[in-house]
Amino acid sequence: MLKKKICLLGSYGVGKTSLVARFVHSMFDDKYHTTVGVKIDKKVLTLEGEELTLMLWDMAGEEDGAPVKLNQVKDASGYLLVIDGTRAKTLEVARSIQQRVEAEIGARPFLALINKADLRETWEIPDSTWTELTDSGWTLLETSAKSGQHVEEAFFALSKRILQAPAEEDEND
């Protein structure tokens, strides 16, 4: 069976754990439990008639003094870059993570998720920034772990990209 590792990267508190909980368990918790280290979950999905096991590495959010551990991302097939739409700062963190991944362990498929779409009125990220990011080659998706909006779509879209991407070196079975 095909197995792919996906990492969820981004600043702390952006909703990485919540997105996984929504996707895997169809649950949402308003209370914030920060992730220690990494929490690994598994989800089997059928994509274009084929079964695919996703290993979801929900990593501790990046913060000052604790950058994302790239050694854990190294063998991932792709990643979701999560941004909190209500905190402009988390977009900068995402940009910086993306650049480090590219520079230090090489490019791989990724999708940027602007999460907390249910709070869109309070978003701090202007539409011009969207255009700018899209122009620079990013694929963006508005998601909400709370309402479930675009959560499945996000994981499926990334999986498709991974399967379509020229397999550099398939470490997984």
Partner 1 sequence: MKTTDDLFAGLDLAVFEEQPDGAWHAVGLLPDWLALPAGPLDLLDCFPMLEVFLPDCDFAKRSQSDTWTEPDPRNPGEELYLQAVACGTDERKFLALRTLPGELLTWQQLAHDVELEKEKVERLSRELEQKRREAERATEAKSTFLAAMSHEIRTPLNAIIGMADVLSGTPLNTEQHKCVEVFQRNGVALLNLINDILDLSKVEAGHMELESTDFDVREVVAAAMEVVEVRVKAKALWLNQILVPGVPFYLTGDPNRLRQIIINLLGNSIKFTDRGGLEIRVECDPGNPSARAGDQINGWLRFAISDSGIGIPEDKLGRIFESFSQADASTTRKYGGTGLGLSISKQLVELMEGHIWVESDVGKGSTFFFTAHFGVQQDQTDRKPVSTERTSVEDLEAGISGLKILLVDDSDDNRSLILAYLKNIHSHIEIAENGLIATQMFRKNRYDVILMDVEMPVMDGYEATSEIRKIEAASGAKPTPVFALTAHAFADMAVKGYAAGFTELLTKPIRKVTLLEAVAGHSSSGEAVTHAAPAQSMEESFTVMVEDGMEDVVPGYLEKRRAEVPLYQTALAANDFETIKNLAHKMKGTGSGYGFPRLTELGSILEQAAIGDDAAQIGEALKQLAGYTARVKLVFP
Ligand X SMILES: Nc1nc2c(ncn2[C@@H]2O[C@H](COP(=O)(O)OP(=O)(O)OP(=O)(O)O)[C@@H](O)[C@H]2O)c(=O)[nH]1
**Identified binder of Mg ion from the candidate list 5, 6, 7, 17, rule CB under 5 A:** 17
**Residue holding tokens 């998720």?**
113
| 3-state class (DSSP) for residue 44 | strand
Q: Can you say whether residue 65 is alpha, beta or left, with left for phi > 0 and alpha for psi between -120 and 50 degrees?
A: left
CB-wise, 148 or 156, nearer to ligand X? 148
Which of the residues 124 through 153 are near partner 1 (CB under 8 A)? 124
Least Å distance, CB 32 to Mg ion, is 9
d(CA 132, CA 27): 33
* Sole window of 8-16, 76-84, 121-129, 147-155 interacting with Mg ion (rule: CB under 5 A): 8-16
* Number of residues this chain uses to bind partner 1 (CB under 8 A): 26
Our finding on whether 33 is near partner 1 (CB under 8 A) is yes
CB-wise, 52 or 154, nearer to ligand X? 154
CB-wise, 52 or 78, nearer to ligand X? 78
Measured distance between the N- and C-terminal CA atoms of the chain, rounded to whole angstroms: 7
* Sole window of 65-73, 104-112, 128-136, 144-152 interacting with partner 1 (rule: CB under 8 A): 65-73
Q: Name the pairing type of β-strands 2-10 and 38-47.
A: unpaired
Residue 138 tokens read as 């990013």
* Residue 104: contacted member of partner 1, Mg ion, ligand X, none (CB under 5 to 8 Å, by partner type): none
DSSP annotation of 62 reads B
Q: Name the pairing type of β-strands 38-47 and 50-59.
A: antiparallel
Interface contacts to ligand X, rule CB under 6 A:
12-18, 29-35, 60-61, 115-116, 118-119, 144-146
- Which of 74, 60, 68, 71 is CA-nearest to residue 16? 60
**Identified binder of partner 1 from the candidate list 77, 86, 98, 159, rule CB under 8 A:** 86
